[in-house]
Structure 1
Amino acid sequence: MSLRKLIVNKTMAALTVLFTVFSSANAFAQEAAAAATAKPVDMGPVHQNALFYVLLFLLLCLFIAIVGKALKVYELTRETQGKPEGINWNTVNAVIFALFLVVGLYGVYWEYTVHGTMISHMHEAASEHGQRIDEMFKLTLIITTIVFILTHIVLFAFAYFYRASDKRKAYYYPHNNTIEKIWTIVPALVLTLLVLKGFLTWRSIFYKVEDPKNRAINIEVTSSQFLWEIRYPGTDAIVGKKNYKLITAINSLGIDFKDKNSLDDLMAEEIVIPVNKPVRFILTSKDVIHSFYMPHFRVQLNTVPGMTSYFEFTPTITTEEMKTKLNDPKFNYILLCAKICGANHFNMQKNVRVVSEKEYQEWLTKQTPYLTNDLRKAFNLPVPVEAAAPAATEAPADTTATAAKVALDVKNQLALKK
């Protein structure tokens, strides 16, 4: 039998088909068995990958391009056949505008109901000026939302109802004094209201009238990569001067001890402030621009190298009261840096505690003086004599020893300032 006859023989062809089917079925069965026994592959959360959304966007663009090409072919086919236009694109565009309006308004509703809860859940302002800032924010948000919705309804509705049509001719409407006055005067009045409220709020924060009976507590905060250094005044309630030229390994802030107000200053690892008492922060920076940011108090101000900034406010809610309000026993006020100042910017934090006046005074007595014995020697200042207790006898009580130490410290500081 020749090769040609063998190929065209029906019996051989049928056997070949059966063999192919059997081989394919056997291969599929082996693959199915292997898949059943194989360990499942964890694909992971694909939707959280940025590449997923990029590919999804490209797929959407491809789909739109294909639909556009199909419609173009449809239009060209009708044109070559001498038929009238099949699609009224003016109506299509008008309907798309209407759909955009509906979808956009729903998007506004969704943003307010979902992300808008962030505003309602925002912590209550814990300072006097913070309440005024929140009021200004809410007023601005309400006005801009109303204007946004009304203007977009008019915009998209106009595009829908006044779309191009062969049944009517467009009316040439060059000018209208009344409309010009309305959309000039109304926005001007609204913006004047918002700007004036913002200006008055800003002045009430930065231009306070000092009350001699309730003077603010001065606290110096020095920023550097990537930490905050806190300095409190001593018994004189005045933070001493400093000079960047005096910065050394043991004098990291460059304190000038020729200024007698510097001799009793204290260093702290956290910020502790009394409730309902004005606090005035003195802000400086040692290297780059940082941003002194305490969100719960609505406080934010840049710290700039070579320049001293000031921010004064009055805290109104203690830390313990805020824990109760939020039902969060782990809550604590915090100081952050709101400038991207380097690799460890995220770690630039300090705890802030608001306490009663009594707790504040008790905490202040436990803080460490900035002026150490090493600094005294470096600046040729007298080193105070330590009170040595007798070795054989103990002090009658801890309170007596503490009182004696405090009295000795006060005596030494007064001697230095003479």
Structure 2
Amino acid sequence: MRFNKLFKIRNLIAVLAIGCIVAGTPVSAQDSTAAAPTEISAGSSTAASATDAADMDAFASELVKVSESATSDDSSTLAAADEVVDNSTLYKTAAYYTILFILVCIFLAIIGKILRVYELTREIQGKRGALNWNSIQGGIFVAFMILGLYGTYWSYDTWGYVVTGESASVHGDRIDGMMLVTVAITTLVFVITQVLLFWFIFRYRGQETRKAYYYPHNNAIERLWTIVPAFVLTILVVFGFFTWRSITNPPEADQKAALSVEVTGEQFKWNVRYAGADNQLGVRNYKLTTPTNSLGIDYADKKSWDDRLGPEIVLPVNKPVRVTINSKDVLHSFYMPDFRVQMNAVPGMPTYFQFTPKLTTEEMREKKGNPAFDYVLLCAKICGSGHYNMQYKVKVVSEKEYNEWIAQQPLFFNDDMKKEMQQKVASSSEAATIDNNIALNN
């Protein structure tokens, strides 16, 4: 009965193999080598006409030309054919990989069935089983341990630059240091625990000559793996807390000395406002939002009159920058990866992030060896269908270049804003006059 099942499985795997071959057969373009026989026949007719001619020298030269033409045509035809074959074999259908996966699974199942039949045959003959499955499984676990540790090394070696890339801000060095310490500690713990886990499975595999020993509890081990991780995590958390506090809540003197910039997110773009000469941003009120005044800036506050619009973010190097982050609609996230800057943009609640750029765009281009490199502002929260489009160019320049750039940027309080404000003042005056007349008449 078992052998009948094996025959059925063999037939099934044969059918799947044929299907895999059919599914993986590339569909090539029409054969372009059909022109070769035409060239040969043309060559033969030319040779025949030349043979009938009296001038053998003319025939010889004509034969050489035909031979060279046929050779070049054949080489170009073969190159085109090779290109067709190469392009056609680049892609295979999903059915090919699905059937291939099923074939591998069936192949492993057949191997298992054959081994099981072999063991049953030995049991019928009164012989001891030839395979020690406990040792086989233990060996497989050791192989998986080695493979997993190599995969960890490969991921660090291939993608480690994502973590170890140089930061473009002063505080970013502290963030990177914390990250490297955390990765080093977790990697060490990971390697130790995984080696112990898989080795213990192999070392203490089931054996007939050894009885299992039950070890339910040990107070010393419990204290060890509770106190040590708690101590290490406490140090990391405290260090991270003070680092985060220095970024989000620096001393008041440092806040006033920093360049004041406001960034407001909306679906799906960023709006940037630079403080004027007073380095103070005008207040905002969402009730004042209009098509002209899209940020709801209160122009009754004179501090807003010199605020400037930024078509891109330009920052001076080695100067602290304090960013006020807002949102007009949904939750966004202000994210500049090269500066290690990230802060949520929350509707109705301004958040802050202060940092100091230490490398200009040109200096970072030289370090990366990429003349097309640019810093970028991204949104790190999925905020809707246009989330991918929330990108804003960031440029770090010298202080002199920054002063020249900011002087050329337009004011938020432009002529359209002034007209709108005058109309509001006029309408409010008319309303006040009407109210006064009504009160006098009463």
Q: Would you say same fold, with TM above 0.5?
A: yes
| Residue of structure 2 equivalent to 1:400 | none
| Residue of structure 1 equivalent to 2:50 | none
SS state at 1:114 partner: helix
| Residue of structure 2 equivalent to 1:307 | 349
Quick one: structure 1 residues 80 and 51, their matched pair in 2 at CA, closer, same or farther if it must change by over 3 Å? same
Deviation of 1:220 after TM superposition, in Å, equals: 0.9
Picking from 62, 70, 78, the partner of 2:106 is 62
TM-score with structure 2 length normalisation?
A: 0.73
Is the 1:46–1:52 contact (alpha carbons within 8 Å) kept by the matching residues of 2? no
Quick one: structure 1 residues 275 and 103, their matched pair in 2 at CA, closer, same or farther if it must change by over 3 Å? same
SS state at 1:351 partner: strand
Quick one: structure 1 residues 89 and 200, their matched pair in 2 at CA, closer, same or farther if it must change by over 3 Å? same
Picking from 197, 200, 205, the partner of 1:163 is 205
Provide the C-alpha distance between the structure 2 equivalents of 1:358 and 1:382, rounded to a whole number of angstroms. Answer: 40
Quick one: structure 1 residues 63 and 336, their matched pair in 2 at CA, closer, same or farther if it must change by over 3 Å? same
Deviation of 1:116 after TM superposition, in Å, equals: 2.6
Kindly report which structure 2 residues correspond to 1:4-403, keeping only aligned pairs within 5 A, or say none.
Answer: 37=33, 40=84, 42-46=87-91, 54-120=98-164, 122=165, 124-211=166-253, 215-380=257-422
Deviation of 1:381 after TM superposition, in Å, equals: 7.4
CA displacement 1:185-205 (0-9 Å, x = unmatched)? 222222222222222221221
Moved more, 349-358 or 372-381: 372-381
SS state at 1:100 partner: helix
Provide the C-alpha distance between the structure 2 equivalents of 1:218 and 1:150, rounded to a whole number of angstroms. Answer: 48
Deviation of 1:346 after TM superposition, in Å, equals: 2.1
Provide the C-alpha distance between the structure 2 equivalents of 1:382 and 1:362, rounded to a whole number of angstroms. Answer: 35
Q: If each structure's helix is expressed as a fraction of its own residues, which one has the higher value?
A: 2
| Residue of structure 2 equivalent to 1:6 | none
CA displacement 1:196-242 (0-9 Å, x = unmatched)? 22222212212211326961111111111211111111222211112
Is the 2:163–2:176 contact (alpha carbons within 8 Å) kept by the matching residues of 1? no
Is the 1:78–1:84 contact (alpha carbons within 8 Å) kept by the matching residues of 2? yes
Deviation of 1:35 after TM superposition, in Å, equals: 7.3
Is the 1:376–1:382 contact (alpha carbons within 8 Å) kept by the matching residues of 2? no
Provide the C-alpha distance between the structure 2 equivalents of 1:104 and 1:161, rounded to a whole number of angstroms. Answer: 18
SS state at 2:422 partner: coil
Deviation of 1:159 after TM superposition, in Å, equals: 1.0
Is the 2:286–2:296 contact (alpha carbons within 8 Å) kept by the matching residues of 1? yes
SS state at 1:369 partner: coil
Provide the C-alpha distance between the structure 1 equivalents of 2:255 and 2:150, rounded to a whole number of angstroms. Answer: 55
TM-score with structure 1 length normalisation?
A: 0.76
Q: Which amino acid is 1:45 matched to? A: L
| RMSD of equivalent CA atoms | 2.5
Provide the C-alpha distance between the structure 1 equivalents of 2:237 and 2:190, rounded to a whole number of angstroms. Answer: 19
Q: Which amino acid is 1:259 matched to? A: D
Q: Which amino acid is 2:176 matched to? A: D
Gaps in structure 1 of 5+ consecutive residues: 1-33, 384-418
Q: Which amino acid is 1:262 matched to? A: S
Please identify runs of 4+ aligned residues in structure 1 that moved more than 6 A: none
Deviation of 1:51 after TM superposition, in Å, equals: 6.2
Is the 1:214–1:278 contact (alpha carbons within 8 Å) kept by the matching residues of 2? no
Is the 2:332–2:345 contact (alpha carbons within 8 Å) kept by the matching residues of 1? yes
Provide the C-alpha distance between the structure 2 equivalents of 1:130 and 1:343, rounded to a whole number of angstroms. Answer: 31
Provide the C-alpha distance between the structure 1 equivalents of 2:392 and 2:335, rounded to a whole number of angstroms. Answer: 10
Provide the C-alpha distance between the structure 2 equivalents of 1:289 and 1:44, rounded to a whole number of angstroms. Answer: 46
Provide the C-alpha distance between the structure 2 equivalents of 1:140 and 1:171, rounded to a whole number of angstroms. Answer: 36
Provide the C-alpha distance between the structure 2 equivalents of 1:352 and 1:132, rounded to a whole number of angstroms. Answer: 22
SS state at 2:146 partner: helix
Moved more, 293-302 or 55-64: 55-64
Quick one: structure 1 residues 234 and 55, their matched pair in 2 at CA, closer, same or farther if it must change by over 3 Å? farther
Quick one: structure 1 residues 142 and 325, their matched pair in 2 at CA, closer, same or farther if it must change by over 3 Å? same
Q: Which amino acid is 2:239 matched to? A: K
Q: Which amino acid is 1:192 matched to? A: T
Q: Which amino acid is 2:146 matched to? A: V
Q: Which amino acid is 2:90 matched to? A: P
CA displacement 1:34-53 (0-9 Å, x = unmatched)? 97958655425237x77665
Is the 2:255–2:322 contact (alpha carbons within 8 Å) kept by the matching residues of 1? no
Deviation of 1:375 after TM superposition, in Å, equals: 1.7
Moved more, 168-177 or 155-164: 168-177
Deviation of 1:147 after TM superposition, in Å, equals: 1.0
Q: Which amino acid is 2:200 matched to? A: F
Provide the C-alpha distance between the structure 1 equivalents of 2:201 and 2:216, rounded to a whole number of angstroms. Answer: 18
